[in-house]
């Protein structure tokens, strides 16, 4: 990736630096206040997806589990199987809080496809009732998201190398896809360009592999990563029809060959985007132009500690609700890395915490932002950490929650 250098005068640089610092502080202050106001003093429903058949590990789960989260202590309790469904490895809750959607990471729905399942949520108990299941329009879906209006669902099919847009119908059911796109042609190298020394993190450059799809914060564009192509695609999104259209001048941004972009996260200010590369375990920082849907590469750092050697697969990335810190998960090394976010969006590593388990596939903040939960896929557990808002550091709560092949956790609050 290229880096740009400023040609501005000293006074201009100083002015912009001061303006950016003020805007960053104002954004963080508003986000912190909003999250503080959303804090619940009682129990919160938590949904956990698990693997029911072997995908990148074991198969000890039975579907979607329902827990109660004590917002004061962070404890997860009163577990029950809310839905017996196949490989629900990613879950989304509708903005109305009436419906829950899960991918089924399979390859044999209606022949050779994966599927998405829609559920109705009981407002009191949190229990789930199946509404319907539809094709994801590709094999092995790995990620899904909803648009801001709750009218459309987006899905990335890893094995199928495709993405699709599905309408959410009246009553919460999913309709057949209104648009699909399949990634073709160029593939990255087998070995990551920026991999640590001695790394054998080689998994996905045999064919295109769509790994994540999500709308931007303004619901104007949709971004999708393809790990096998080392690309982040950008599409214009028609929120009335659900159709997506590739950008004419620059339909994608390329990452270093073989690095494997997996997931990305927007900063609350909507102007900064961070991409996590699975096979190089790096975090790339981009400036995001919301008017054009374009991205400008700035700086890339490692998600692993200095001097690390060997194999690790990065998995998840999130920005703290107040916009001050960035967190990423590393599988095999089994850590959550913590970075501070400067006033210009750049990152600095400040901490590394063991997940107290094996193969952290996903993590999530509690609704109030004061706890972080890690799904340790291969050790069949969820571990929780206290988030220190002032420093961004994490402290293990001592609480383990047993879940067979835990893949994903989200909250209804």
In a domain, 92, yes or no: no
Q: Dump pLDDT digits (tens) for 80-137.
A: 999 999 999 999 999 999 999 999 999 999 999 999 999 999 999 999 999 999 999 9
Name 88's bridge partners: none
Q: From CA 331, how far away is CA 315, in angstroms rounded?
A: 7
According to the model, what pLDDT value does residue 32 have? Answer: 45
According to the model, what pLDDT value does residue 76 have? Answer: 97
In a domain, 207, yes or no: yes
> In the chain, what percentage of residues exceed pLDDT 90?
87
According to the model, what pLDDT value does residue 36 have? Answer: 44
In a domain, 344, yes or no: yes
- State yes or no: pLDDT of 14 exceeds 80: no
Domain count, the chain: 1
Q: In what order do the strands lie in the sheet with 261-266?
A: 261-266, 272-277, 282-289, 294-302
Q: Dump pLDDT digits (tens) for 307-347.
A: 999 999 999 999 999 999 999 999 999 999 999 999 999 99
- State yes or no: pLDDT of 374 exceeds 90: yes
- State yes or no: pLDDT of 394 exceeds 50: yes
Q: Dump pLDDT digits (tens) for 38-59.
A: 444 578 999 999 999 988 878 9
Q: Which residue has the tokens 């096979």?
A: 279
Domain that holds residue 207: 188-354
**Contact (CB, 8 A) for 327 and 336:** yes
Q: Which residues contact 406 (CB under 8 A, 6 or more apart)?
A: 48, 49, 50, 61, 361, 375, 376, 377, 380, 381, 382
* pTM of the predicted model as reported, rounded to 2 decimal places: 0.90
CATH of residue 196's domain is 2.130.10.10
Q: Dump pLDDT digits (tens) for 145-172.
A: 999 999 999 999 999 999 999 999 999 9
In a domain, 70, yes or no: no
In a domain, 196, yes or no: yes
In a domain, 293, yes or no: yes
According to the model, what pLDDT value does residue 43 have? Answer: 86
In a domain, 228, yes or no: yes
Average pLDDT over residues 261-267: 98
**Contact (CB, 8 A) for 28 and 36:** no
374 phi/psi in degrees, rounded to 5: -115, 130
According to the model, what pLDDT value does residue 324 have? Answer: 98
Mean pLDDT over all residues of the chain? Answer: 91
According to the model, what pLDDT value does residue 281 have? Answer: 98
In a domain, 322, yes or no: yes
Q: Dump pLDDT digits (tens) for 209-230.
A: 999 999 999 999 999 999 999 9
According to the model, what pLDDT value does residue 294 have? Answer: 97
408 phi/psi in degrees, rounded to 5: -160, 145
Q: From CA 225, how far away is CA 210, in angstroms rounded?
A: 6
DSSP states of 95-114 as a string?
TTSSEEEEEEEEEEETTTEE
According to the model, what pLDDT value does residue 131 have? Answer: 98
DSSP states of 290-314 as a string?
TTTTEEEEEEEEESS-TT-BS--EE
């Amino acid at each position: 990736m290229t880096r740009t250098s400023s040609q501005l005068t000293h006074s201009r640089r100083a002015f912009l630096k001061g303006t950016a610092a003020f805007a960053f502080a104002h954004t963080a202050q508003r986000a912190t206040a909003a999250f503080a106001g959303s804090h619940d003093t009682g129990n919160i429903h938590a949904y956990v997806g698990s693997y029911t058949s072997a995908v990148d590990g074991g198969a000890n789960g039975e579907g979607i589990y329902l827990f109660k989260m004590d917002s004061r202590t962070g404890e997860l309790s009163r577990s029950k199987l809310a839905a017996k469904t196949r490989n629900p490895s990613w879950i989304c809750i509708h903005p109305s809080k009436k419906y829950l959607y899960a991918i089924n990471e399979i390859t044999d729905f209606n022949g050779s496809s994966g599927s998405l399942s829609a559920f109705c949520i009981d407002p009191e108990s949190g229990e789930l009732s199946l509404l319907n299941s539809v094709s994801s329009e590709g094999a092995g879906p790995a990620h899904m998201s909803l648009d801001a209006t709750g009218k459309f669902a987006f899905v990335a099919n890893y094995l199928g190398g495709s993405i699709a847009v599905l309408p959410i119908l009246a009553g919460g059911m999913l309709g057949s896809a209104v648009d699909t796109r399949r990634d073709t042609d160029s593939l990255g190298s087998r070995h990551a360009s920026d991999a640590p020394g001695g790394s054998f993190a080689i998994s996905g450059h045999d064919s295109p592999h769509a790994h994540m799809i999500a709308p931007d914060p303004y619901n104007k564009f949709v971004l999708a990563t393809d790990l096998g192509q080392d690309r982040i695609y950008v599409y214009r999104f028609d929120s009335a029809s659900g159709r997506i259209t590739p950008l004419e001048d620059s339909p994608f941004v390329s990452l270093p060959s073989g690095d494997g972009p997996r997931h990305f996260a927007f900063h609350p200010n909507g102007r900064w985007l961070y991409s996590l590369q699975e096979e190089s375990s790096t975090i790339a920082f981009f400036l995001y132009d919301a008017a054009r849907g374009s991205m400008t590469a700035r700086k890339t750092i490692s998600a692993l500690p200095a001097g690390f050697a060997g194999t690790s697969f990065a998995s998840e990335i999130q920005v703290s609700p107040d916009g001050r810190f960035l967190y990423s998960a590393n599988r095999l090394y089994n850590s959550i890395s913590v970075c501070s976010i400067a006033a210009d969006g750049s990152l600095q590593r400040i901490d590394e915490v063991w997940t107290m388990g094996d193969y952290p596939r996903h993590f999530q903040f509690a609704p109030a932002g004061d706890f972080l939960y890690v799904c340790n896929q291969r050790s069949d557990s969820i571990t929780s950490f206290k988030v220190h808002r002032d420093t961004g550091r994490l402290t293990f709560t001592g609480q383990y929650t047993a879940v067979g092949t835990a893949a994903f956790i989200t909250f209804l609050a």
